[in-house]
Amino acid sequence: MDIGLQGFLPVTENPLKGLVMAEILGFDAFSPKEIADKVANVGVIKAHLPALPTLMLGVLAGGFIGLGALYYTLVASDTQLSFGVARVLGGVAFSLGLILVVIGGAELFTGNNLLVMAWADGKITTNEMLRNWALVYVANAFGAIGLAVVVYFSHHAEMNQGGVGIAYLKIAAAKTALPFWEAFFKGVLCNLLVCLAVWMALAGRSVTDKILMIVFPISAFVAAGFEHSVANMYFIPLAIFLKGSVAAPSGLDLASLGWGGFAGNLVPVTLGNIVGGSVMVALVYYLIYRRGLSSPSK
């Protein structure tokens, strides 16, 4: 099958045979079938990467997502913005994190849920996939929490007359107060969009293509208030550090803001992220483009 559309036409009378994607659709992006092939092959490379570079790239990704979260919080601290404008602008700002991961090169747990495609294809084993996830998850946590420590000592939270610090407290308090199942399903929806952003970025042939494909899905999940496990590894620890030094506004309940609340958020969000990325993106596209559901019947 040469292109994604071709599989839906009979082989003997297929008028598209031999034509490239650009000739059919008028642009030179990789087709969905080509993206699926790339995801499966990249999954093999990631699963076989030695532990040390995997950990180092994972630390970078945790820090990169933290920088996106930092950028988002600056927007969120501006109380003069309307709700919709603040959410959309904040989402665009947060996109910096995945742009750094994809363009700069790093290992991100949520994006690596796409390894399920290589696993389903029989190219990697269950142990190899879980090893990658475990190493990258721990490294992402080190990177995100490490950045939170540096940001705390930089007094970044004092910007906007202390409004940035208050924004961190509000964001983290809302996250740690989420009921289990609400956090889980927000995690599902988040990584559905994150993995679609990574998937579409693989369709692009230039840096500009990749950035544009990242911004819209990522800004959508942030604007909608969905939950990203690695971003929360930055947001919540930094708010815990700030809790004793930032004067919280009256009415803001910080009872759940602690390490117990952090774990209580991270568990359901992580599980939701796995379902959203692994099942709703990787497995669905695997069935369509790797198992041949888009191919003509014999």
Domain ranges of the chain: 28-290
Count Cβ neighbours within 10 Å for each residue of 73-105 and write b for 16 or more, e otherwise.
bbbbbeeeeeeeebbbbbbbbbbbbbbbbbeee
> Of 28-32, 55-59, 98-102, 258-262, which gets the smallest average pLDDT?
28-32
**How far apart (Å, rounded) are the C-alpha atoms in residues 75 and 167?**
9
Q: Tell me: pLDDT of 280 over 70.
A: yes
Burial class (CB in 10 A: 0-12, 13-18, 19+), 156: middle
28-290: which CATH topology?
Glycerol uptake facilitator protein (1.20.1080)
* Residue 107, pLDDT score: 98
* Residue 47, pLDDT score: 97
Number of other residues whose CB lies within 10 A of the CB of residue 157: 24
* Residue 43, pLDDT score: 96
Q: Could you tell me the pLDDT band of residue 7, with boundaries at 50, 70 and 90?
A: very low
Q: Residues 11-55: pLDDT tens digits?
A: 444 444 444 555 555 567 888 899 999 999 999 999 999 999 999
Q: Tell me: pLDDT of 104 over 60.
A: yes
Taking the CA atoms of residue 241, residue 106, residue 29 and residue 44 in that order, the dihedral angle to the nearest 10 degrees is: -130
* Residue 29, pLDDT score: 82
Alpha-carbon distance values, 247 to 166, 168, 227 (Å): 7, 12, 26
* Residue 248, pLDDT score: 86
* Residue 88, pLDDT score: 97
Q: Residues 147-170: pLDDT tens digits?
A: 999 999 999 999 999 999 999 999
Q: What mean pLDDT comes out for the span 223-243?
A: 97
